[in-house]
Amino acid sequence: MTATIIRTAPPVTRTLAWPAWLMAALAFAVAISGSGAATLNGDELATISAAQRSIGGLWELSQQIDGHFLPYYLFMHLWVKAGTAELWIRLPSAIAIGVAAWFLTDLGRRLHGTPAGITAAALFAALPSVSYYGAFARSYAFAAAAVVLAFWALLRALDEPRRTSRWIFYGGAVALICCTHLFAVLTLPAHLLLARRTTWMPMLAALAVGGLPAVALGLIGYGERHAISWIPQRGPEVLLKFPKMVADSMEVGLLLFAAALAGAAAHWFIRRDRGAWALLAWLVLPPVLLLAVSHLVTPVYVDRYLFVTAPALALLAGIAVTSVPRAPAAAAAALAVVTIVLAVPAQADVRDYNGRYADFPGAVARIKTQPGDALVYGQSSERKGVLYYARKPLPDDVLLVSREPEAHGFAFPERDDVAAALEGRRRVWMVWRGAKTAPLPRIEAVRRAGFEQASAWHSAEIPGLTVALFIRS
């Protein structure tokens, strides 16, 4: 028998659309529930810094760093005109999670029936990683939504391959993937498993045109390799941590990963549908390809770049439990309950005030300003977080040259003559990222200026933030 893609479900109608809207609302509610809990971290503060620049300033920034984030920064440039409150700047990510859940529900319906779609969206909403990236002011939730949309658009195009408009829409969805995050394109090879002899040409044409933004952003990113020099080289053993990464919980990840493999097998044997292998490729190819890029080009393997695989994990697990003979509803409910219970510790961590591992409010609270005190930063970029959460007067920022960040990055221009800047000062507060004993040049410069450390506070996580008071000896 020749493998074909079988469509057994009727077209979406108003009656069939309500589950998608319900699951979208659920996923959005879960994501937004964590948006006001955890404090912003450095990446989110970088988003604010970039978004508050002029269009020309954004373009100049993209020539030096974060060029592949330029489309997201342009969107946020418009968004932050209404404010930069935590909830507001994270709201687009929560909306993107809701959009992903909508299309995931309908994608499951098209592939395996409405129960599979509902279960997949419910499992997706239960993932701690969804709570994290749905309340994170970066483009990762956008990328996940775009990836689900593209897969959904491809199935619609394959249903009616002679409708040019559907291929145009699919090409637009591919372009959207490329504009959300460069490495989200690693999900696109999975699409090729759905191609048929009669659809190769329109499909490749749509991929080629839709992939043009990835070519442009990839060239920009290649020229900015210095900006990610901090990423270590990883070996194949890192793939063993992939289930934990995609779910943000090892227990949940292993459970759903096992279910996902069973779902791929069940979908194939029940329906003889190549969609099973395409979904499995969507799940497992991106980490393998990202590791290959790391070894062939430059180290780029970072866990958060692979959040785009989370919808595939949930969808395959949903297919698995709704394929259980005679009791699919009970199996789906049982898996959902177990997933939620196992996810409780990770969900609590995500919603902790320090859930982004950057306790800037705690650092600000430790600074007890007295007249004449000075403030020095171990890393200039940490200034943005302190200023964002400052609700009281801070010591004199003696090294600051301009309150506008540097055009080529997120640091602020500072003077180098630390000793001269601290002349006449008796007390100096320092804030830096890292442990109390971090060997930073700026700390040594303060010591050479005649100061000794009198006290220090370090936040709970590693590397965390340190606030220290130095007094002239």
Task: Give the model confidence (pLDDT) of 422-450 as tens digits.
Answer: 999 999 999 999 999 999 999 999 999 99
Q: What is the pLDDT of residue 295?
A: 95
Angle between helix 212-222 and 200-210 (nearest 10)? 40
Amino acid at 227: A
Residues facing residue 421 across a β-bridge: none
Q: What is the pLDDT of residue 16?
A: 57
DSSP string, 7-25: --SPPP-HHHHHHHHHHHH
Q: What is the pLDDT of residue 3?
A: 40
Task: Give the model confidence (pLDDT) of 341-380 as tens digits.
Answer: 999 999 999 998 888 888 999 999 999 999 999 999 999 9
Task: Give the model confidence (pLDDT) of 132-165 as tens digits.
Answer: 999 999 999 999 999 999 999 999 999 999 999 9
Task: Give the model confidence (pLDDT) of 217-250 as tens digits.
Answer: 988 888 888 788 888 999 999 999 999 999 999 9
Residue written as tokens 């959902």? 336
Q: What is the pLDDT of residue 296?
A: 94
Q: Tell me the pLDDT of the chain averaged across its residues.
A: 92
Query: How sure is the predictor about 11, in pLDDT bands with cuts at 50, 70 and 90?
Result: very low
CB proximity list for 312: less than 8 A, separation 6 or greater? 187, 260, 279, 280, 282, 283
Phi/psi at 348 (nearest 5 deg)?
-65, -40
**Could you give the strand order of the β-sheet that contains 465-472, starting from the edge strand earlier in sequence?**
396-397, 374-377, 427-433, 465-472, 451-458
